[in-house]
A and B are shown apart, each in its own frame.
Chain A
Amino acid sequence: MRWTLLGLATIGALVSSVVLGPAAVPLGDLFRSDIVWNLRAPRALLAFLVGGSLGVAGASLQALVRNPLADPFLLGLSGGAGLGAVVAIALHIPGPWALPIAAFVGALAALGLVYRMGLIGGAGGALDPRILLLGGVAVGAFAAAITTAIVSLADAAELRNAFLWLWGGLSAASWDSVLLVALYAPIPLIVLFAASRPLDLLALGEEPAGYLGADVAAVKRRVYLAASLLTAAAVAVSGVIGFVGLVVPHIARLAWGHHHRALLPAAFLGGGALLAIADTVARTVVAPRELPVGVVTALIGVPVFTLLLRRWTVA
Chain B
Amino acid sequence: MRRLLFAVLILAACRPDGRTAGRQAQRIVSLLPSFTELLFAIGAGDRVVGRTTWCDYPPAALSIPSVGDGMPPNIEAVAARKPDLVVLYNSGPNVTAAQQLERIGIRTVLLALNRLEDLGPAARTLGRLTGLEKRADSLAMAMDSLLHQPPPTSSTSTSLAFVVWDNPPIIIGRGSYLDQLAALAGARNVFADVTAPSAQVSLETIAARNPEWIAVLSDSAAPPSFARRREWRAVRAVREERFLLLPGSLFGRPGPRSGQAVRELRALLERNGVGAQHAAPLHDRSRR
Residues of A at the B interface (CB closer than 8 Å) are 21-25, 34-35, 38-40, 42, 94-96, 99, 156, 158, 161, 164-165, 169, 171-176, 283, 287-292
Contact = CB atoms under 8 A, between A and B. Distances in A.
The 10 closest A-B pairs by CB, nearest first: A23-B208, A174-B231, A174-B230, A161-B165, A171-B168, A96-B229, A169-B168, A38-B234, A39-B204, A23-B204
B165 A21 contact: no
Contact of B230 (A34, A95, A175, A292): A175
B202 A283 contact: yes
Given A169-B168, A288-B193, A290-B202, A22 B208 contact: yes
B238 to A, nearest CB: 12
A23 B205 contact: yes
A22 B71 contact: no
Given A34-B207, A172-B167, A290-B201, A39 B191 contact: no
Given A35-B204, A164-B168, A292-B200, A172 B229 contact: yes
A277 B228 CA distance: 29
A114 B208 CA distance: 45
Given A22-B202, A165-B167, A171-B167, A96 B228 contact: yes
B169 interface: yes
A163 to B, nearest CB: 11
Interface in B66-88: 69, 71
Contacts of B169: 171, 290
A96 B226 contact: yes
Interface in B207-254: 207-209, 225-226, 228-231, 233-234
What is the interface residue range for chain B against chain A? Answer: 20 to 34
B220 to A, nearest CB: 11
Contacts of A164: 165, 168, 170, 200
12 contacts: A22-B208, A23-B205, A38-B231, A39-B203, A42-B231, A94-B225, A99-B167, A161-B170, A169-B167, A288-B201, A288-B202, A289-B199
B225 A287 contact: no
Nearest to B239: A34
A174 B202 contact: no
B111 interface: no
A165 B168 contact: yes
